[in-house]
Structure 1
């Protein structure tokens, strides 16, 4: 699994190089959680800004920044941003090349939401590489919020999307090895749940968000997690802020976690503290919470961002004028003694 992590780091570097060529002034930095991450972000311009989950958020942010830096909308930015990992076969948890379900079928989930509470979603979508763009079509071309399965696929084809095989040879080989291994349990922070969620604030002061994934590796056929569920895997309120999530999707669904984070921000909590409270609420109901990973990432209306998770290992990417950062989120297991859980 170290090879995958090494690749993602190289991908991030590649994204930063692209940003250098485009803007002429991009600073790459890596900081650990707590005060280091917060201090790093204080020097960044707060509008426009884009944040996203995991290392593959770096090249995704670079694509989103091309939209934001030219005065484009947050909605266009998040769609274009997450299309990058959707099309990258080496990002094994999103789009093309994603890990299949237990039957060997790659199924994709995605949702998108704008500053006016318009939203669209697709779930259990097969053989369409860019579910985020299909989700946007659902939002803009229908009166519905969510389409699933065969209905989502037929809608996508009617909108001009082309079917293609999403199961790469590498993902197929890994799935076949998994079958031989007796369905071993997936590892925390590895291939089973590295969803990309992206939040953006544009120069017009508007927020938008997108979330897209191939879901849990080797899941039961038909399983859908939090990523395409508005309120669970993503939520945007233009008066307050936005939040997205990654990790064990069922836990975010049970708590409507991203809506919770936004509501905590409405009550006055910072993005990081809101994420922390949401994680604590989940952990308090799980006697074995240390077996799971849950991570929230939030962006406020003022351009402040923050994240928090259960396990060490969750990082997130932030890009604004002049800088691109990859930051480690603080986590529940390594909280200072006496911290409330």
Structure 2
């Protein structure tokens, strides 16, 4: 139950190290924004650092040229290509064939509904960078951590499931650990890693616990994309996924190298 997290942090490369500092040197659980960056720098992490790469700047420039599409907004109308965005007033307006902005522009119903998406289509193995890791030491202590750059084209200020305890990661040395990745905006509503660890505490195998947690999400959101791994205190591990083929790696005492395990959605 020692937890540290940071979110919306800029200028500091070692986000997961910053999260550990929150756990070790504060009584808080979560620090966010530039104040989190200030804390990390004051505790000795290197920076401030420009975290933009030529690839990310090129992607951003092309996105701006495409009127900031795709994005994660819904039920809104952009006054210009990249905003500002204004809400569609009332549910009934979605049933109309047009919506008149203050500038009297007319936008058809198809354009409105095009903005009303869940965001899942932006999440895939090709644009994800989440790393979640669980470790058991020789004394049986368990630690888990997750680090991510977040969803591509996210709305500024968005916090995903990465820093939310019980969502992208959770551990209890009486039961085991879990790490998750995918459509964090959906998955965090279910705290899937907390669910996995509690299921193992109640006697479920890692496989059954992982499948159960994914099944709970896909019953409500059949189009979501995500995956998780489960690890019990004996070192038995498994994974489950939905919407993509998921791979996770394992290395334990006596192994000469990492072994990669592949999980298919149909395995659930």
- What TM-score, normalized by structure 1, do the two folds share? 0.60
Cα deviations by residue, 1:224-251 (Å, 9 ceiling, x for unpaired) = 1001011111111110001111000022
CA contact (8 A) 1:241 1:262 kept: yes
Deviation at 1:187, TM superposition (A): 5.0
Q: Which residue of 2 aligns with 1:327?
A: 261
Q: Distance in 1 between matches of 2:192 and 2:29?
A: 19
Q: 1:226 aligns with which of 161, 169, 179?
A: 161
- Find the aligned partners of 1:327 and 1:174 in 2 and give their Cα distance: 31
Name the residue aligned to 1:40: none
Task: Give the structure with the larger helix fraction.
Answer: 1
Aligned residue for 1:216, secondary structure, equals coil
Q: What SS is found at the alignment partner of 1:255?
A: coil
Partner of 1:138: 22
Relative contact order (C-alpha < 8 Å, sep 6+): which is higher? 1
Shift of 1:292: 2.3
Q: Deviations over 1:182-221 (max 9, x none)?
A: 4135252221x33110001111111100100010011000
State the alpha-carbon separation in 1 of the partners of residues 199 and 11 from structure 2.
38
**How big is the shift at 1:312?**
3.0
Distance 2:173 2:122 in 1: 36
Q: Give the TM-score taking structure 2 as reference length.
A: 0.76
SS at match of 1:156: helix
1:19-63 CA distances to partner (integer Å, 9 max, x unpaired)? xxxxxxxxxxxxxxxxxxxxxxxxxxxxxxxxxxxxxxxxxxxxx
Please say which structure displays the higher CA radius of gyration. Answer: 2
Whole-angstrom distance in 2 between the partners of 1:280 and 1:299: 18
Deviation of 1:167 after TM superposition, in Å, equals 0.4
Q: 1:189 aligns with which of 99, 115, 125?
A: 125
The ranges of structure 1 where at least 4 consecutive aligned residues each deviate by more than 3 angstroms after the TM superposition are none
Cα drift, residue 311 of structure 1: 2.0
Gaps of 5+ in 1: 1-116
Equivalence for 2:235: 303
Aligned length: 214
RMSD across aligned positions (CA): 1.4
